[in-house]
């Protein structure tokens, strides 16, 4: 087959701008933003109440805004882990099938653009919308922290905060990829939304439980293991299983980034702790190294999902 | 050297095992209105999608405006305006915003967009409602908006898929008039329809599709000559006993059929009106009406397939 001629990027910018404008102006986006904003601010507010009474000497006061939880509200970090997918799915579940259902697909593809440009433009528009929402939220929290705590964040805290933003965006991109893949595979928008939301519930609520049960099925509890505790293999197996869920990867990356004293995300042997000053924070570079596998896995997930959606979309017939 | 802007040879497309298009040869000359006519599912839309490079042909060679839609789809799409079957728009945007989006995608220079958009909306008569959301538009208005998009693109070729389906007679008439306007602007028009009679009026040449093949191709007169033999067709309304016998005595008459009370249809090889009139009056009958009619595509189509089934 001879090669196609003409740039894949023709029209990508136009699609991006149109979709971006659509997202920012849509009622759907406004609802989702309020949801995140209210839960997020609630979590941060209770964290601030705690911070004011308990600590004054913590070198990473600002980071604790994101990580501290106060019953009954979870920490801001946990709220994000739960709600970012919801926003991403809300933005992405009808990207492709929506065009078919509105019967605009053939009209758009009759213009001199490749399908690549359409899909890329839509994906980047979703990502940009997520980025705008996340940065706004992040700035709001920093502002809230400045007002109530009265201390400015240190340079390292800001850097860790930026890293946190990037990881959150990758995490959101992954769920956007899931939603777009569903929107390519399923012609009905409702089916696509349901499947994406089902996956989200499976990964965020059921998977941690399932991975534990599956591990117990493979490494059954015996009187011996009750005494010695779980074996090394068992711990590694359960952790690997749990890491299939992007929520686990996201949680672990944030743990490493926002809790500078985190030294390992897996099992640690006693001899590895020799000479370690426990509880002392790691420098930023070391923390980044620690979460590097998690972050690259998240980004790899985004790429794999996008490619899958791309391949299926390219093979789809234009006529509905 | 012919001036063909669209040419397709041996076009084939399979959906699973069943051929949707089964070996089609098609040539459209510059500046003509060409009709792809035939029942639903005859392969018209599939052919159009292949011409646009929106679906891959399994076999055959296509050239549109000098480009191969498989290899240079962007160039083809730059030269072709397309109005899809039951066209859709973004209902939450205004008509203007909808066209603005496609204008940018089409790569119309920024400075020209506003002017060309305004002109197009004027030509289809939607200038006054251009700032309304498309959600409030009727079906006819949507079709016209789709046509405005084709006009705005100033493409050399316009491909219109079922532009009149679902429209009321008045809207159909207006739309066909606008399509004639396209031809006046030296645009080659390819139009597909299952409503033979309505589209017949605007087409220079037609191709009749059936089961993925082109059954007949040519001008309406050529087709009627091929299918109906003589091609000269006369309608008579007269009160006279046994008109068929009278008519059959006239040299050149090939076929007489009764179409209603005192109404007859005569097909002949030449103009037999004078003799028919004379025959009726000399037989003592009274002639109420005597008309030469352009045979309708419907008649041709029905006759053709009756003939096919007869020989099969």
CATH of the domain at B267: 3.30.70.100
Among A309-313, B187-191, B308-312, the range scoring the smallest mean pLDDT is: B308-312
Please, which residues have CB within 8 angstroms of residue B172's CB and are 6 or more apart in sequence?
Answer: B164, B198
Which chain A residue is nearest to residue B45, measuring alpha carbons?
A: A319
Instruction: Give the pLDDT score at B1.
Output: 41
Considering the domain architecture, whether residues B68 and B163 belong to the same structural domain is answered as yes
In a domain, B280, yes or no: yes
Residue A89 confidence (pLDDT) above 80:
yes
Is the CB of residue B177 less than 8 Å from the CB of residue B155? no
Contacts of B46 in chain A (CB under 8 A): 319
Q: How many separate domains does chain B show? A: 2
Please give the structure tokens belonging to residue A134: 């996340």
Considering the domain architecture, whether residues B279 and B131 belong to the same structural domain is answered as no
Portion of chain A with pLDDT greater than 90, in percent: 54
Burial A240-279 (b: 16+ CB within 10 A, else e): ebbbebbbbbbbbbbbbbbbbebbebeeeeeeeeeeeeee
CA distance B143 to B84: 9
In a domain, A7, yes or no: no
Considering the domain architecture, whether residues B21 and B116 belong to the same structural domain is answered as yes
Average pLDDT across chain A, whole number: 89
In a domain, B32, yes or no: yes
Give the structural domain span for A148.
Answer: 12-270+279-315
Which residue among A4, A11, A106 places its CB closest to the CB of B105? Answer: A11
In a domain, B131, yes or no: yes
Q: Which of A109, A110, A318, A320 to mutate to test the interface with B (most CBs of B within 10 A)?
A: A110
Instruction: Give the pLDDT score at A56.
Output: 60
Cross-chain Cβ contact B52/A103 below 8 Å = no
Considering the domain architecture, whether residues B65 and B122 belong to the same structural domain is answered as yes
Considering the domain architecture, whether residues B80 and B199 belong to the same structural domain is answered as yes
In a domain, A5, yes or no: no
**What single string gives the DSSP state of each residue in A78-135?**
HHHHHHHHHHHHHHHTTHHHHHHHTT-HHHHHTSS--HHHHHHHHHHHHHHHHHHHHH
- In tens, the pLDDT along B206-231 reads 999 988 999 889 988 888 778 776 66
Local confidence band at A69 (pLDDT 50, 70, 90 cut-offs): confident
Is the CB of residue A144 less than 8 Å from the CB of residue A272? no
pTM for the predicted model, two decimal places: 0.89
Is omega for the bond preceding B26 within 30 degrees of 0, making it cis?
no
Q: What is the mean pLDDT of residues B260-278?
A: 85
User: Residue B28 has what DSSP assignment?
Assistant: E
Considering the domain architecture, whether residues B186 and B236 belong to the same structural domain is answered as no
More confident residue, B254 or B140: B140
User: Residue A204 has what DSSP assignment?
Assistant: I
DSSP H or E stretch at residue B159: strand B157-161
CA distance B154 to B151: 5
Question: Helix H segments across chain B?
Answer: 44-52, 73-79, 95-105, 110-123, 139-153, 169-184, 196-200, 220-228, 243-248, 273-282, 297-311
Which residue among A1, A22, A112 places its CB closest to the CB of B77? Answer: A112
Cross-chain Cβ contact A106/B78 below 8 Å = no
Local confidence band at B311 (pLDDT 50, 70, 90 cut-offs): very low
Considering the domain architecture, whether residues B186 and B77 belong to the same structural domain is answered as yes
Closest CA to A78 of A255, A260, A265: A255
- In tens, the pLDDT along B31-53 reads 999 999 888 888 999 999 999 99
CATH of the domain at B83: 3.40.50.300
Considering the domain architecture, whether residues B169 and B140 belong to the same structural domain is answered as yes
Cross-chain Cβ contact B107/A10 below 8 Å = yes
Considering the domain architecture, whether residues B17 and B57 belong to the same structural domain is answered as yes
Question: Helix H segments across A186-283?
Answer: 189-201, 207-218, 223-228, 232-242, 246-258
Instruction: Give the pLDDT score at A57.
Output: 64
Among A147-151, A272-276, B69-73, the range scoring the smallest mean pLDDT is: A272-276
Local confidence band at B312 (pLDDT 50, 70, 90 cut-offs): very low
Please, which residues have CB within 8 angstroms of residue B26's CB and are 6 or more apart in sequence?
Answer: B6, B7, B8, B11, B47, B207, B214
In a domain, A6, yes or no: no
Considering the domain architecture, whether residues B240 and B109 belong to the same structural domain is answered as no
Backbone angles phi, psi at B35, to 5 degrees: -105, 130
CA distance A63 to A49: 15
Please, which residues have CB within 8 angstroms of residue B196's CB and are 6 or more apart in sequence?
Answer: B37, B296, B297, B298, B301
CA distance B120 to B100: 12
Considering the domain architecture, whether residues B52 and B199 belong to the same structural domain is answered as yes
In a domain, B225, yes or no: no
Please give the structure tokens belonging to residue A121: 């433009």
Instruction: Give me the sign of the Cα torsion angle A138, A139, A144, A147.
Output: positive
Average pLDDT across chain B, whole number: 88
CA distance A60 to A255: 13
Which residue among A5, A103, A109 places its CB closest to the CB of B86? Answer: A103
The partner residues of B190 in beta bridges, in order of sequence, read: B34, B159
- Chain A residues touching chain B at CB-CB below 8 Å: 1-6, 10-11, 14-15, 18, 22, 102-104, 106-114, 317-319
Please give the structure tokens belonging to residue A83: 């709600």
In a domain, A148, yes or no: yes
In a domain, B288, yes or no: yes
Q: Which of B55, B74, B100 to mutate to test the interface with A (most CBs of A within 10 A)?
A: B74
Q: How many separate domains does chain A show? A: 1
Cross-chain Cβ contact A3/B91 below 8 Å = no
Contacts of A111 in chain B (CB under 8 A): 77, 102, 105-106
Is the CB of residue B85 less than 8 Å from the CB of residue B162? yes
CA distance B39 to A272: 78
Contacts of A106 in chain B (CB under 8 A): 49, 54, 82, 84
Residue A2 confidence (pLDDT) above 70:
no
Greatest Cα pair distance, chain A, in angstroms, is 70
Instruction: Give the pLDDT score at B227.
Output: 79
Cross-chain Cβ contact A111/B77 below 8 Å = yes
Residue A184 confidence (pLDDT) above 90:
yes
Portion of chain A with pLDDT greater than 70, in percent: 98
Considering the domain architecture, whether residues B107 and B194 belong to the same structural domain is answered as yes
In the block, residue with structure tokens 């728009």: B89
In a domain, A241, yes or no: yes
In a domain, B56, yes or no: yes
Residue B106 confidence (pLDDT) above 90:
yes
In the block, residue with structure tokens 């939220």: A137
Q: What is the mean pLDDT of residues B8-35?
A: 92
- In tens, the pLDDT along A41-62 reads 888 888 888 887 766 667 788 8
Local confidence band at A76 (pLDDT 50, 70, 90 cut-offs): confident
Give the structural domain span for B110.
Answer: 4-218
What is the number of other CB atoms lying within 10 angstroms of the CB of residue B300? 23
Q: What is the mean pLDDT of residues A186-207?
A: 95
Q: What is the mean pLDDT of residues B169-197?
A: 90
């Amino acid at each position: 087959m001879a090669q196609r001629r003409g740039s894949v990027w023709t029209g990508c910018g136009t699609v991006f701008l149109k979709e971006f404008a659509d997202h920012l102006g849509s009622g759907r986006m406004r609802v989702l933003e309020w949801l995140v904003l209210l839960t997020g601010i609630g979590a941060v507010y209770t964290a601030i109440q705690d911070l004011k009474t308990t600590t004054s000497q913590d070198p990473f006061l600002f980071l604790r805004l994101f990580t501290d939880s106060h019953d009954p509200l979870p920490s801001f970090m946990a709220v994000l882990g739960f709600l970012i997918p919801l926003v991403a799915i809300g933005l992405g579940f009808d990207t492709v099938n929506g065009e078919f259902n509105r019967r605009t697909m053939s009209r758009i593809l009759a213009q001199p653009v490749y399908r690549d440009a359409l899909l890329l433009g839509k994906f980047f528009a979703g990502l940009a919308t997520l980025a705008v929402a996340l940065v706004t939220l992040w700035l709001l929290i920093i502002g809230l922290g400045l007002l109530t705590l009265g201390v400015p964040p240190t340079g390292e805290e800001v850097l860790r905060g930026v890293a946190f933003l990037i990881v959150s965006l990758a995490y959101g991109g992954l769920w956007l990829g899931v939603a777009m893949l569903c929107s390519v595979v399923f012609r009905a928008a409702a089916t696509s939304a349901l499947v994406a939301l089902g996956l989200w519930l499976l990964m965020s609520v059921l998977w941690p439980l399932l991975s534990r049960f599956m591990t117990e099925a493979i490494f059954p509890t015996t009187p011996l293991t009750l005494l010695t505790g779980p074996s090394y293999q068992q711990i590694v197996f359960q952790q690997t299983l749990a890491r299939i869920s992007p929520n686990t990867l996201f949680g672990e990356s944030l743990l490493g980034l926002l809790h500078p004293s985190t030294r390992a995300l897996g099992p640690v042997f006693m001899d590895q702790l020799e000479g370690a000053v426990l509880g002392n924070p790691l420098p930023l570079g070391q923390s980044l190294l620690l979460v590097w596998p998690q972050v690259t896995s998240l980004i790899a997930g985004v790429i794999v999902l996008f490619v899958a959606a791309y391949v299926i979309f390219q093979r789809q017939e234009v006529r509905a | 050297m012919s001036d063909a802007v669209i040419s397709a040879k041996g076009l084939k497309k399979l959906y699973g095992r069943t051929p949707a298009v089964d070996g089609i040869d098609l040539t459209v000359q510059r500046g003509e209105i060409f009709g792809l006519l035939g029942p639903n599912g005859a392969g018209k839309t599939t052919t159009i999608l292949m011409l646009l490079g929106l679906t891959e042909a399994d076999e055959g060679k296509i050239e549109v405006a000098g480009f191969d839609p498989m290899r240079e789809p962007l160039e083809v799409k730059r030269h072709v305006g397309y109005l899809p079957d039951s066209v859709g728009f973004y209902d939450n945007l205004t008509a203007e915003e909808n066209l603005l989006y496609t204008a940018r995608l089409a790569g119309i220079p920024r400075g020209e967009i506003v002017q060309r958009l305004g002109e197009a909306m004027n030509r289809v008569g939607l200038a006054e409602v251009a700032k309304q959301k498309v959600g409030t538009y009727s079906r006819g208005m949507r079709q016209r908006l789709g046509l405005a998009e084709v006009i705005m693109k100033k493409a050399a070729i316009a491909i219109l898929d079922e532009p009149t389906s679902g429209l009321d007679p008045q809207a159909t008439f207006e739309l066909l008039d606008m399509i004639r306007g396209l031809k006046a602007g030296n645009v080659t028009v390819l139009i597909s329809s299952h409503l033979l009679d309505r589209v017949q009026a605007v087409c220079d040449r037609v191709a009749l599709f059936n089961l993925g093949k082109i059954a007949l191709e040519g001008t309406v007169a050529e087709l009627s000559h091929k299918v109906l033999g003589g091609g000269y067709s006369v309608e008579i309304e007269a009160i006279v006993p046994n008109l068929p016998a009278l008519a059959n005595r006239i040299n050149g008459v090939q076929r007489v059929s009764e179409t209603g009370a005192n109404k007859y249809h005569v097909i002949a090889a030449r103009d037999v009106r004078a003799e028919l009139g004379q025959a009726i009056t000399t037989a003592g009958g009274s002639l109420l009406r005597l008309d030469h009619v352009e045979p309708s595509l419907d008649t041709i189509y029905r006759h053709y397939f009756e003939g096919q089934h007869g020989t099969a």
